[in-house]
Amino acid sequence: MIASQIRSMWLVFKHLFRKNVTVQYPDQKPYLSPRYRGRIVLTRDPNGDERCVACNLCAVACPPDCISLQKTEDADGRWRPEYFRINFSRCIMCGLCEDACPTYAIQLTPDFEMCEYDRQNMVYEKEDLLINGPGKYHDYSFYQIAGKAIAGKDKGEAQNESEPINVKSLNL
Amino acid sequence: MSASVWIILLNVFGVLIVTVVLAAILTWGERRLLGFWQDRPGPNRVGKFGTLQVFADMIKLFFKEDFTPKFADIPVFILAPTVVMATMLIAFAVVPISPNIGVTDLNIGLLFVLAMSSIAVYSVILGGYASNNKYALLGSLRAAAQTVSYEVFMGLSLMGVVMLSGSFNLREIVNAQAEGWFIVPQFLGFFIFFIAGIAESRRTPFDLPEAEHELTAGFHTEYSGMKFGMFFVGEYLAVILISALITTLFLGGWHGPILPPFIWFCLKTALLICLFILLRAAIPRPRYDQLMKFGWKVMLPLALLNLLATAGILLWTA
C-alpha cells in the first residue's frame, strides 16, 4: 500500500518538468480551424448580392429559436429577407442553421469574442450580420445555378441547365 | 533598553511576522505548485509570477461581507478562528531556528508544542459547534475524533527522539543531532510523526473535517471574510509548524555542511512544506472508517513498537 502511494507521489512529482497545457487566452490565442463554429455571418454571392433567399429553413432548424426573419421580393424576382435578426444571447453556436441553408448564405466563423455589457446589444440585425464576401464558398451563386427565373435570367439559362421542354409538345 | 532586550524583541517579532507572512505566501505557493503538478501554471497573472496574488486575495477577503449567521453562538463563533492562529503562533515560540535565533528555550518545549497543537483542535470543534449547522457539526465531530486518535501516537512517536537525546528541550534535541540526524535511528518515528502531522494540520489525505465533496466546507462552512481567512492561515501555519518540527526533531535542525545554519533550517523546512503540497496533489482522501482503522490498528501499534525497540536498544547499549 505504502509503495503505491509513494509511486503515485513520484508520478505526480514528475509532472513538475512537463510543459503546461494551458493556453493563456487573452495573451495567447488558440488556433481555431476555419470550420470552427463561432459568430454567425450572412454572406454575399460573387456579384455582391445577398445570398439569403429568406426560405426560413435556418429559423426552423434553430434549436433555441434565435433566428427571426421576414421574406420580401425584389422587382427582379429575387427573394430577400426584409429583416434578419439573430439573438446571440440565445444562440448555442450549433451550426444547424448553416447545415440547413440551401444557398450557403448563413455561415459560422471562427470568431467568438462578442461580449457586451448590455444584453440588448447581443441582438444582431441584418446589417450587423452581412459581410462583404462569399465566406467559405467563393464561386457559389444561387441564382446562377437554380432554375428560378429572375430578371435577366430566364428559365433554362442557369449553369448546367438545359432549355425547358414543353412536355405536351412531345408527340409520342 | 539594553542590547539584549532588543535582541529578544527582534527574535519575538521576527519569528511572529516571518511565520505569518510565510503562511500568507504559502497560500499562493501551494496553488502555484499544485498547478505545476497538474500541468497548468496556477495563479500567475497578478505581479511577477503571480507573487502579488496574496495581496489580491487579502483585499478580496477584507472587502467580503463578514457574515455571522443569526442562529450561531456568536461569541464562540468569533472566538473559534482566533484560537487556531494564536496557538499555532505560540507554538513557534519554542522552535529553535538557528543557534541564536529562536524565541525561548523551554525545557519542556516538545510537550509545549504538542499541547498547543492539541488546543488548536478546539478551534475546529468550537467553530463547527457554534456555526449551528449540520455540515459544520459533522466536520468538527470528524476533526475531534481524528485529532484525538492521531494525537496519541503523535506523542508516542516522538518519545524515541526524547530518549535518544535525553531532553524535551528542542534546542538540546537539535544539538544532540550534531553527529547524526535522528531520521536514521528513528526512521519509523519520523514516518509516524509525519503522518500524524498531516492529520493534525488536517491536510489532504486527512482533510476529512473539511472534505469538500461530502461536507461542503466542513467546520468552516458558515465562515466568510477574514474569519475564514484566519482558519485558512491557521492551516498553513500548522503546515509550517509541522515541517519546522520535523526538521528540528528528525532532520538535524540547523546542522549541515557549508551553508549557514539558518539557511539549512529554511531549506529543510521548505522541502518538507513542498512534500506536504505534493501529498495533497497526489494522494486521494480515505474513507472515514479507514482513517480511524489506520490510526488505531496500524499506526498506534507501530509507534508502540518503535518506542519499545528504541528503549530496549538504549538499555542494551547503556
- A25: in domain: no
Question: What cell does B142 get?
Answer: 470528524
- A67: in domain: yes
- According to DSSP, residue A31 is labeled P
Q: Based on C-alpha coordinates, what's the Rg of chain A?
A: 25
| Chain B stretch 18-47, residues whose beta carbon is closer than 8 A to a beta carbon of chain A | 36-41
Which residues of chain A lie closer than 8 angstroms to B278, CB-CB?
9, 12-13
User: Which residues of A make up each annotated binding site for [4Fe-4S] cluster?
Assistant: 52, 55, 58, 62, 91, 94, 97, 101
* Residue entry with cell 447581443: A122
Determine whether B31 is exposed, middle or buried from the number of CB atoms within 10 Å of its CB (0-12, 13-18, 19+): middle
- A74: in domain: yes
Which residues of chain A lie closer than 8 angstroms to B283, CB-CB?
5, 8-9
CB contact under 8 A, B39 and A21: yes
Mean pLDDT for A37-44 is: 92
User: Helices B3-37 and B53-63: crossing angle, nearest 10°?
Assistant: 100
- Helix-strand-coil percent breakdown of chain B, rounded to 5? 75, 0, 25
Q: Which residue of B40, B41, B278 is in closest CB contact with A12?
A: B278
pLDDT at B1: 61
Number of domain units in chain B: 1
A66 contacts A87 by C-beta, under 8 angstroms: yes
Confidence of residue A118 (pLDDT cuts 50, 70, 90): very high
A79 contacts A71 by C-beta, under 8 angstroms: yes
* Residue entry with cell 539584549: B4
- A3: in domain: no
Domain carrying residue B245: 3-317
pLDDT at B102: 74
Q: What CATH number is given to the structural domain containing A150?
A: 3.30.70.3270
Q: What number of residues does chain A have?
A: 172
Is residue A120 over pLDDT 70? yes
Residue type, B302: L
CA distance A15 to chain B (A): 5
Q: What is the rounded CA–CA span in Å between residue B244 and residue B263? A: 13
CB contact under 8 A, B36 and A5: no
Per-residue pLDDT tens over the stretch B232-285: 888 888 889 899 889 888 888 788 788 888 888 888 889 999 998 898 888 888
pLDDT at A107: 92
A75: Cα separation from own chain's centroid? 27
Number of domain units in chain A: 1
- A10: in domain: no
Domain carrying residue A69: 32-154
B72 contacts B222 by C-beta, under 8 angstroms: yes
Per-residue pLDDT tens over the stretch A60-74: 999 999 999 999 998
Which residues of chain B, if any, have pLDDT below 70?
1, 211-212
Which residues of chain B lie closer than 8 angstroms to A22, CB-CB?
39-41
CA distance B106 to chain A (A): 36
Per-residue pLDDT tens over the stretch A68-100: 999 999 888 889 999 999 999 999 999 999 999
Task: Print burial letters for A18-51: b (CB count within 10 Å at least 16), e (below 16).
Answer: eeeeeeeeeeeeeeeeeebbebbbbbbbeeeebb
Q: Mutate which of B38, B49, B194 to test chain A, going by most A C-beta atoms within 10 A?
A: B38
Q: Which residue of A13, A20, A21 is in closest CB contact with B278?
A: A13
Q: What is the rounded CA–CA span in Å between residue B152 and residue B118? A: 11
Q: Which residue of B40, B41, B281 is in closest CB contact with A12?
A: B281
pTM (two decimals): 0.78
Question: What cell does B137 get?
Answer: 457539526
A144 contacts A159 by C-beta, under 8 angstroms: yes
pLDDT at A57: 93
* ipTM value greater than 0.90: no
- A164: in domain: no
